[in-house]
Amino acid sequence: MNKSKQLQSISSHSNRPQKISEVLLNTFKLIRLNISLMVTISAYFGFLLSDKKHTPQLFIVLFAVMIHSFGTSMLNQYQEIEFDKKMERTKNRPLAKSMFNPKSALYLGIILILLSFIIPLTINKKFIFLMLLDNFIIYNCIYTPLKKKTSFALLIGSICGAIPPVIGWLVGNDYLSLKILLVATAFYMWQVPHFLFLTEKYKNEYKKAGFRILINETSAKKYNIILTTWLISYFLVLANTAIIILGQGILSDILISLETILILMLVIQNNNPAQKFRIINISIMVLIIFYIIKTIAL
């Protein structure tokens, strides 16, 4: 082997770890690992609310929830390849950047979704199968195509945010209580400002890509009225939810109410969409984290 070939061989070996890390990074982006983990944690949160003991069925369902999230993410990115290419925020997504074969991603996504349907049926959890089926229909079949036609598609798509905790609850129950319905409502209400703050930051990109979003469809005055009204409603639901699942007395209820009002004021008075996006996400995460800590402590 001559010197040139030796150098090429050495270069090829030295670049291999970098290539592996790039493949992993793009795979994580394709399955939206961070969001999929959050979805799975939300399902686990719903299970904890039921006060049932941990069983093998729980982990089987959580696995189904996770691979379902992987699959719907892959399918969604396949559905929006051409739109993702037009946006600065999404142009580096794996399929938009041709890092993976789109057809392969589509087929694998469908396989994962189908597998997520089969798993709960094998443990006789028909309601969980129906919830996952509903999530797929709403997210991939209705919301994804509809958001190019109307800004109010968000009200339908946000239902997907309420489904994971309900799935967790259904691991140990065959009914829905007021507690889990209130939690699901809080998750639904949270999804709307979560997305609106994202569109505030990237409103020009969404317009360029052809997505219909509220901030581009109405006047600034009407948008602020709608957003403020929704935020107040969300934080009222969040405060009541926190009081029901966390509160253990008048002092606790007062502290939760004051904390909720403080977070609401921080959001309303902030003009930075990125900061508002983080604050609104923290508001729902705090509820989950505090309840998990409370459960472990007891």
Q: What average pLDDT does range 149-160 have in this prediction?
A: 94
Band of the pLDDT at 296, cuts 50, 70, 90? confident
CA–CA distance, 198 with 254 (Å, rounded to integer): 31
- Distance between CA atoms of residues 25 and 63, nearest Å: 21
The predicted model gives 148-162 an average pLDDT of 94
Question: pLDDT tens-digit profile of 180-193?
Answer: 999 999 999 999 99
Angstrom distance (rounded) from CA 192 to CA 210? 20
Phi and psi for 154 in degrees, rounded to 5?
-60, -35
Token pair 């829905």 is found at 176
Question: pTM for this one?
Answer: 0.89
pLDDT value at 2 more than 70: no
Residue 267: closest CA among 227, 216, 238, 220: 227
**Confidence class for position 6, pLDDT limits 50, 70, 90:** low
Residue 287 has pLDDT above 50, yes or no: yes
Residue-wise pLDDT for 76-99, tens only, equals: 999 999 999 988 888 889 999 989
Region 16-40: what's the mean pLDDT?
87
Q: For residue 18, what pLDDT band results from cuts at 50, 70 and 90?
A: low
Closest-CA residue to 109 (of 139, 144, 74): 74
Radius of gyration of the chain (CA): 22
Q: How far apart are CA 287 and CA 267, in angstroms?
A: 17
CA distance readout (Å), 12 to 9, 21, 25, 27, 164: 5, 15, 20, 22, 44
